[in-house]
Amino acid sequence: MGNVLLLAEHRQGALRDITFEMMAIAPKVAEDMGGEVTALLIGSGMDDMAKKLSEYGVKVQVIDDPVFENFNAEKYQKVLSALIDEKKPAVLMTGQTAQGVDFMPALAVEKKLPLVAEAVGLEYVDGTLKATRQMYSGKVSASVAFKPAETYLVTIREGAVEAPEPAAAGSVEKIDSPFKEDITYRKFVEYIEAEVGDVDITQSEILIAVGRGLKEDKNMPLIEELAQGIKADVAGSRAATDAGWIPHDRQVGTSGKTVKPKLYLAMGISGAFQHVAGMKGAKTVVAINKDPEAPIFAVADYAIVDDMFKVVPALQEKLKELKG
Amino acid sequence: MSSESQTFTEKYDLLGCIQCGRCTGGCPVTVRADLNVRQFVNNAYDEDKLEELSRLAEIWDCTACHTCAVRCPKGLKPLEVLIGLRTIIVESGKVEPTVRDALQSVLLEGNPWEKSRAMRTDWMEGLDVKIAEPGEPVENLFFVCCTIAYDPRVQAVARNIVRLLNKAGVDFAFLPEEESCCGSEVFTIGEEGLFEMLVEDNTEYLNEFKAERIVTLSPHCFTTYKTHYPDLKNPVIHYTQLLDELLEEGKLVWKGELQKKIVFHDPCYLGKQGGIYDEPRRLLKNIPGVELLEFDRSRERSLCCEGGGGKMWVESTSTKERLADVRIRDAKELDADIVAAACPFCVLTLEDAMKNLGYEEEMRVAEIMELLGEFVEA
């Protein structure tokens, strides 16, 4: 039996995106291995989440107990350890998230089971389970196999695949918690929400960064509108944060933040060495600057030598056209 | 070097302090940040309080300009108390990711800019540069500095000096790519262990070369070698001293005229810390046509540009006007056409301020070597 046990991740009463993303991987693997997917929910009071999960055509098992009201890696490890013994799933899968990395390695060591961390793909080919991992900042994809074992552990990178649409009705079943005695050595203290409106630009996929070329604060709406259109976050050079156009925690550079978006749009930024050092992790760089000698062009994949106030409206226009 | 058994109070001679307050009174960053260095020296007597003190954000506002040390009547270095507190934070690993990356890059690649060591000598491309070899005698052995080697904005400093010295027939060589960071910023950031390692490794490395003297391009390297490398065999000078010698020997021949008003900004590491005030001024004054101006705050009283003390990797919590902006406004009031400096960090911070204030059309920030490269025919 090649069953896949998928541990759903949730926070503050809502399922995390990674849970749905794993639905793009788990059913195919289970099918190829001749088994089925069981989605496991651990927590307290999760009827809505269980229903939502079951809409993916999977069997949802719920461990509903007040002791799991808040995430605790040790408790999760104990539950999963017992379930591995009991259910002997072929694959135990969860997200490569702050939660997943907190217990999966420990679980692998405890159970002496092979773990592939941060996989972007998983498939069962010719009787072998193979995971795909990215190396060298995504320049190389490595296909890795597991050491033969009864259960394979894998964590899936967030945002690696697109979540599918709900497929078919599944089932929901409450099961008993194998976790009997509460632990006291690690306790939940407080949940601290990040400040409202606080964007962590180090995690942004698309960034528009403005520099001195913005000239004045009243030009910001133009940039914000474009950002909205392409789902980008807005950051700035030191000059832009000094001028107060951009909050200080969104400064890119050696004395600010180091960013690694898939797309970096540098607008009116000359590209001082200290700024460029903060954005060298960007996959694709588009630079707009009036000065053809601006050093930013040395690191840009696409260079537009023109006034940003001419280029941005043109981009907006094109964007509208594309969106129909 | 510190010994393990020393207490914080002994290490920084806190009991030598008479709490006169000249340090805080002269500290340039007090105008924009809540930094009171005298108070830190006072509070650091209490070993139990050190960790709490180390968590205060203002310890990162210090630019290590050394104004406090210059003014201290007891000859202490109050700023090093702040560095000692940074060390506590660095050892606990709770530094900004940018600082962590810079330190890691020094360890792995020999520079804080996260650039490959293999690219350290790329600035030499197309130039006729002799590369020094261990044991081979050379009169002037050049140490290029990480920032000048990698930042395209200031690479001209190294390139121009090569052209100039080649024409002047001076015996010189540059170090190969094995050259590593002097550790100036590592020291001020408070990474004591890494700094000790650099001092040891660099001393051993540099002592292999048979040079009459080591010439540094950045005042940060200059002062760091002079102050923290007791076992370095060769004397260390700054390039303005070498050029001043050439000037005296009549080996610098001026071409054309520079009808400009230039004001010289004393870099803290060259002036306050290195004691070099006159050489750069003599060089500038000798460019035909130049009118040399003076800031009110010049020489020992020079206003720091806030480029040192690890500030390239840590932003101040203050949003008040940067000192570099103040400096550029002062230059504007003097009606200066060019603000000249002899330090890569000063050039970067002052040029940024000049652009911020919108003076790009009428003012220029230049490293002395950029100007000399344009107006000297050796």
Q: How many domains does chain B have?
A: 3
Whether residues A243 and B356 touch (CB distance < 8 A) is answered with: yes
- Answer whether B174's CB lies under 8 Å from B121's CB: yes
Where does the pLDDT of residue B254 fall: very low under 50, low under 70, confident under 90, or very high at 90 and above? confident
Confidence at residue B240, expressed as pLDDT on a 0 to 100 scale: 98
Is there a domain that residue A106 lies in? yes
CA B344 to chain centre: 7
Whether residues A251 and B97 touch (CB distance < 8 A) is answered with: no
| Nearest chain B alpha carbon to A274 | B312
Give residues with Cβ within 8 angstroms of B361, minimum separation 6. Answer: none
Model confidence pLDDT, tens digit, residues A154-176: 999 998 898 999 988 999 999 99
Q: Domain check: are B265 and B351 in the same one?
A: yes
Q: Which of B230, B246, B262 is the last residue of a domain?
A: B246
Task: State which residues form the domain around B191.
Answer: 98-246
Is there a domain that residue B152 lies in? yes
d(CA A66, CA A64): 7
Is there a domain that residue B172 lies in? yes
Confidence at residue B4, expressed as pLDDT on a 0 to 100 scale: 59
Q: Domain check: are B133 and B226 in the same one?
A: yes
Confidence at residue A195, expressed as pLDDT on a 0 to 100 scale: 64
Mean pLDDT across B268-280? 97
Q: Domain check: are B24 and B112 in the same one?
A: no
Q: Domain check: are A242 and A285 in the same one?
A: yes
Q: Nearest CA of chain B to the CA of A257: how many Å?
A: 7
Q: Domain check: are B261 and B242 in the same one?
A: no
Whether residues B352 and A272 touch (CB distance < 8 A) is answered with: yes
Mean pLDDT across B334-360? 97
Annotate A68-99 with DSSP letters as a single string.
GSS--HHHHHHHHHHHHHHH--SEEEEESSTT
Mean pLDDT across B144-158? 97
B100: pLDDT strictly greater than 90: yes
Is there a domain that residue B125 lies in? yes
Is there a domain that residue A184 lies in? no
Q: Domain check: are A120 and A227 in the same one?
A: no
Q: Domain check: are A208 and A68 in the same one?
A: no
Confidence at residue B253, expressed as pLDDT on a 0 to 100 scale: 85
B1: pLDDT strictly greater than 60: no
Where does the pLDDT of residue B3 fall: very low under 50, low under 70, confident under 90, or very high at 90 and above? low
Q: Domain check: are B146 and B227 in the same one?
A: yes
Q: Domain check: are B241 and B313 in the same one?
A: no
Give residues with Cβ within 8 angstroms of A98, minimum separation 6. Answer: none
Residue B301 gets the label, from left (phi > 0), alpha (psi -120 to 50) or beta, of alpha
Q: Which of A174, A191, A221 is the last residue of a domain?
A: A174
Q: What is the dihedral of CA B365, B368, B370, B376, to 10 degrees?
A: 140
Confidence at residue B278, expressed as pLDDT on a 0 to 100 scale: 98
B56: pLDDT strictly greater than 60: yes
- Answer whether B312's CB lies under 8 Å from B185's CB: yes
Q: Domain check: are A94 and A237 in the same one?
A: no
Structure tokens at B72: 């201290």
**ipTM higher than threshold 0.90:** no
CATH of the domain at B170: 3.40.50.1860
Give me Rg for the CA atoms of chain B.
21
CATH of the domain at B298: 3.40.50
- Answer whether B312's CB lies under 8 Å from A275's CB: no
Longest dimension (CA), chain B: 64
Is there a domain that residue B3 lies in? no
Q: Domain check: are A220 and A129 in the same one?
A: no
Is there a domain that residue A274 lies in? yes
Q: Which of B92, B116, B140 is the last residue of a domain?
A: B92
Confidence at residue B197, expressed as pLDDT on a 0 to 100 scale: 96
Q: Which of B48, B69, B92 is the last residue of a domain?
A: B92
Q: Domain check: are A12 and A138 in the same one?
A: yes
Task: State which residues form the domain around A149.
Answer: 4-174
CATH of the domain at A277: 3.40.50.1220
Comparing CB atoms, the residue among B97, B150, B312 nearest residue A258 is: B97
Is there a domain that residue A179 lies in? no
Whether residues B152 and A295 touch (CB distance < 8 A) is answered with: yes
Mean pLDDT across B141-166? 96
Q: Domain check: are B79 and B119 in the same one?
A: no
What does the mean pLDDT of chain B come to?
95
Is there a domain that residue A181 lies in? no
Whether residues A258 and B312 touch (CB distance < 8 A) is answered with: no
Q: Nearest CA of chain B to the CA of A76: how many Å?
A: 28
Average pLDDT, 10 consecutive residues per value, chain A (324 residues)? 93 93 96 96 94 95 94 95 96 97 97 96 94 86 95 94 90 92 86 74 94 94 94 95 92 92 96 92 95 94 96 93 85
Model confidence pLDDT, tens digit, residues A235-276: 999 999 989 999 988 999 999 999 999 999 999 999 999 999
Q: Domain check: are B112 and B242 in the same one?
A: yes
Is there a domain that residue A316 lies in? yes
**In chain B, which residues have their Cβ closer than 8 Å to the Cβ of A291?**
none
d(CA B350, CA A236): 19
Q: Domain check: are B140 and B229 in the same one?
A: yes
Q: Domain check: are A59 and A161 in the same one?
A: yes
Confidence at residue A194, expressed as pLDDT on a 0 to 100 scale: 66
Q: Domain check: are B317 and B293 in the same one?
A: yes
- Answer whether A250's CB lies under 8 Å from A236's CB: yes
B293: pLDDT strictly greater than 50: yes
Q: Domain check: are B184 and B76 in the same one?
A: no
Confidence at residue A318, expressed as pLDDT on a 0 to 100 scale: 92
Is there a domain that residue B1 lies in? no
Confidence at residue A196, expressed as pLDDT on a 0 to 100 scale: 58
Comparing CB atoms, the residue among B114, B311, B355 nearest residue A255 is: B311
Q: How many domains does chain A have?
A: 2
Confidence at residue A165, expressed as pLDDT on a 0 to 100 scale: 92
Confidence at residue B36, expressed as pLDDT on a 0 to 100 scale: 97
Interface of B with A (CB under 8 A): 97-98, 101-102, 113-114, 150-153, 311-315, 319, 322, 348, 352, 355-356
Q: Nearest CA of chain A to the CA of B125: how many Å?
A: 17
Q: Nearest CA of chain A to the CA of B17: how many Å?
A: 33
Mean pLDDT across B215-239? 97
**In chain B, which residues have their Cβ closer than 8 Å to the Cβ of A295?**
152-153
Is there a domain that residue A37 lies in? yes
Is there a domain that residue A166 lies in? yes
Where does the pLDDT of residue B2 fall: very low under 50, low under 70, confident under 90, or very high at 90 and above? very low
Confidence at residue A280, expressed as pLDDT on a 0 to 100 scale: 85
Q: Domain check: are B222 and B154 in the same one?
A: yes
* % helix, strand, coil for chain B, step of 5: 45, 10, 45
Q: Domain check: are A13 and A159 in the same one?
A: yes
Model confidence pLDDT, tens digit, residues B114-139: 999 999 999 999 999 999 999 999 99
d(CA B353, CA B331): 11
